[in-house]
């Protein structure tokens, strides 16, 4: 039997509803911040991610699904969402003044070749936010407030904490990297990846999951910030506190992608059920990426979250987002003549946004009512010879058990009034 690839999953029935509930809840929050959706291809040129995410990052060096097309061009299944959006912005000239600030969100599958584990798949669903064209402390605060709004909407705000750091920039970054390199070369037992990173990208060693605990005494970035960066970071911390955000400063937070500059953050789940993968939302400012990909000098900030990990948290805490999955009406036809009338009725109802299901399996009346219960039908109607003759029908309300007789010609209006 052919089976699904390792690290993927089939999503159906209750699980599919969980995905829809979670995504719709978060999208509704993002719309209150005036964000609009963007959809980009699920495969892109490999060069896009090499130039943006970084050649020494785990994503590029180990995790991308790569392939050549029939003309020998090298593509990858997208491993993350920011670079494709920047590519789209440049290609479609969305940096024109009439588009700015560009406030976008995306929902879709990402792909990384890595060991499957709790809440982590090789194909996974991600929701992300990108705001381009504004370099403001207040925009930074709004992004952090957005995280707070999301966690409140999905009812996990008491179970998470927000870690912040500020990456050194400009000349101070060069000074810090020299000091960090001096610190790192004294180790003779680092993992193979860190041995490479010391010379190619020392900052990335701080993100190592193997040697992480060895770097507790590493030089602190905040000690190397320029006056401007230090002031900005303090403004973010103070403003965040004033609007009620709970923030931790994490000096060793660097994030795993090379394009970040300045403010970076991770929202972490406080329970241990996700193991080492406790980060559920992460992002930061990336003011140089648009320019680095041959676009204009345009500041940007964003974040992304993994849907699978969030669903695990909702399940663990028995959180129901209370979206209505029931149908408005279940219809039962008792004869072939009744089925013809039934088809006419349900077509008119569906054309008026009434959610309807009917039986085509010739179930018994008792089995049909059980099916209506399974589908959480709010109402049931039975169509037989008498209904054909009188052109009247009884709506059986499955919630309060009331029964209402109406003309078939008035059924649509009656159902719309009862929604």
Which CATH number belongs to the domain containing residue 362 in this structure? 3.40.50.800
- Predicted TM-score of the model (pTM): 0.88
Q: Which domain holds residue 379?
A: 327-418
| DSSP code, position 326 | -
Same structural domain for residues 69 and 141?
Answer: yes
Q: Would you give the DSSP letter of residue 216?
A: T
Measured CA to CA, the distance from residue 229 to residue 36 in angstroms comes to 30
H-type alpha helices, 33-168: 46-52, 58, 82-91, 137-153
Q: What is the per-residue pLDDT for 30?
A: 97
**Are 48 and 153 in the same domain?**
yes
* pLDDT tens over the chain, length 419 residues: 999 999 999 999 889 999 999 999 999 999 999 999 999 999 999 999 999 988 878 888 889 999 999 999 999 999 999 999 999 999 999 999 999 999 999 999 999 998 888 888 999 999 999 999 999 999 999 999 999 999 999 999 999 999 999 998 888 888 988 988 888 887 878 887 788 788 777 887 887 777 778 888 888 888 889 999 999 999 999 999 998 888 999 888 887 667 888 999 999 999 877 766 689 999 999 999 999 999 999 999 999 999 999 999 999 999 989 777 789 999 999 999 999 999 999 999 999 999 999 999 999 999 999 999 999 999 999 999 999 999 999 999 999 999 999 999 999 999 999 87
Same domain, 27 and 72: yes
CATH of the domain at 54: 3.30.930.10
Residue that terminates a domain, selected from 260, 288, 317: 317
Which H or E run includes 189?
none
Q: Do 137 and 52 have their domain in common?
A: yes
Binding residues: 80-82, 112, 126, 130, 255, 259-260
Nearest to 316 by CA among 157, 156, 158: 156
Q: Cα separation of 79 and 69, whole Å?
A: 18
* Cβ–Cβ under 8 Å, residues 49 and 56: no
Annotated binding site for L-histidine: 80-82, 112, 126, 130, 255, 259-260
Same domain, 103 and 132: yes
**Rounded-to-integer distance, Cα 70 and Cα 110, Å:** 23
Place of tokens 């930061």: 284
CA-to-CA distance for 114 and 121, rounded, in angstroms? 8
| Sign of torsion over alpha carbons 70, 72, 77, 80 | negative
Q: Residue 275: its pLDDT value, please?
A: 65
So what's the pLDDT on residue 276? Answer: 61
186 lies in some domain: no
CB atoms within 10 A of CB 399: 10
Query: Do 343 and 311 sit in the same domain of this protein?
Result: no
Q: Are residues 240 and 360 in the same domain?
A: no
- In angstroms, the first-to-last Cα distance of the chain is 45
pLDDT at 212: 75
**3-class DSSP assignment, residue 324:** coil
Residues 163 and 59 in one domain: yes
Q: Does residue 308 lie in a domain region?
A: yes
> Is 1 part of a structural domain of the chain?
no
- Last residue of a domain, which of 317, 335, 358? 317
In a domain, 190, yes or no: no
DSSP 93-117: TTTSGGG-SEEEEEEEEEE--S--B
């Amino acid at each position: 039997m052919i089976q699904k690839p390792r690290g993927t999953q089939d999503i159906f029935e209750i699980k599919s509803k969980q995905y829809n509930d979670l995504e719709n809840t978060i999208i509704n929050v993002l719309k209150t911040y005036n964000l609009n959706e963007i959809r980009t291809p699920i495969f892109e040129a490999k060069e896009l991610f090499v130039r943006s995410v970084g050649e020494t990052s785990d994503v590029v060096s180990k995790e991308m699904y790569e392939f050549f097309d029939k003309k020998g061009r090298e593509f990858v299944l997208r491993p993350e969402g920011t670079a494709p959006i920047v590519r789209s912005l440049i290609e479609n000239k969305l940096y024109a003044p009439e588009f700015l600030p560009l406030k976008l969100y995306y929902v879709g599958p990402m792909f990384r070749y890595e060991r499957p584990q709790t809440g982590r798949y090789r194909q996974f669903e991600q929701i992300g936010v990108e705001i381009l064209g504004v370099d403001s402390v207040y925009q930074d605060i709004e992004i952090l407030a957005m995280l707070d709004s999301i966690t409140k909407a999905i009812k996990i705000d008491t179970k998470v904490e927000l870690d912040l750091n500020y990456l050194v920039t400009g000349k101070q970054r060069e000074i810090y990297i020299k000091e960090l390199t001096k610190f790192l070369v004294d180790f003779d037992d680092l993992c193979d990846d860190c041995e490479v990173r010391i010379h190619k990208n020392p900052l990335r060693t701080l993100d190592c999951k193997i040697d992480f605990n060895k770097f507790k005494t590493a030089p602190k970035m905040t000690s190397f910030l320029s006056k401007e960066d230090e002031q900005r970071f303090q403004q973010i911390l103070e403003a965040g506190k004033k609007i009620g955000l709970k923030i931790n400063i994490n000096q060793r937070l660097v994030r795993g992608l090379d394009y970040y500059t300045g403010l970076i953050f991770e929202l972490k789940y406080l329970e241990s059920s996700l193991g080492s993968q406790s980060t559920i939302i992460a992002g930061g400012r990336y003011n140089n990426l648009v320019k680095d990909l041959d676009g204009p000098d345009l500041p940007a900030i964003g974040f992304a979250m993994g849907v699978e990990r969030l669903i695990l948290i909702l399940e663990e805490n028995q959180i129901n987002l209370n979206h209505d999955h029931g149908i408005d009406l279940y219809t039962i036809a008792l004869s072939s003549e009744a089925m013809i009338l039934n088809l006419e009725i349900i077509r008119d109802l569906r054309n008026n946004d009434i959610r309807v299901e009917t039986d085509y399996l010739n179930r018994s009346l008792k089995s049909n009512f059980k099916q209506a219960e399974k589908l959480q039908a709010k109402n049931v109607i039975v169509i037989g010879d008498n209904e054909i003759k009188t052109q009247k029908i009884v709506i059986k309300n499955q919630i309060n058990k009331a029964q209402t007789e109406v003309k078939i010609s008035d059924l649509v209006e009656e159902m719309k009034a009862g929604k």
